[in-house]
Amino acid sequence: MYPYHNKIKQRISNKELVSYEYVEKYKKMEPCLLLYFNTEPKIRPIREHRFEEYEAFFKNL
């Protein structure tokens, strides 16, 4: 299985993250945190139950 969140956190640590935003709906996810990267894949969606984990990760950078 692809280590989705580990890979995303590695990309953030490698300074590939350009920006992020919270949206009410992205495809079938409501609400959603969208992470924008400068490398492919450019957009990675995060489900609501992971919001706190990513907010804490952003603070520790």
3-state secondary structure of 56: helix
pLDDT per residue as tens, the chain (61 positions):
568 999 999 999 999 999 999 999 999 999 999 999 999 999 999 999 999 999 998 888 7
Q: What is the pTM of this model?
A: 0.90
The pLDDT value recorded for residue 34 is: 98
Domain locations in the chain as residue ranges = 4-59
Q: How far apart, in whole angstroms, are the C-alpha atoms of residue 6 and residue 30?
A: 22
The pLDDT value recorded for residue 2 is: 66
Q: How far apart, in whole angstroms, are the C-alpha atoms of residue 17 and residue 36?
A: 6
The pLDDT value recorded for residue 53 is: 94
Instruction: Report residue 5: phi and psi, to 5°.
Output: -75, -35
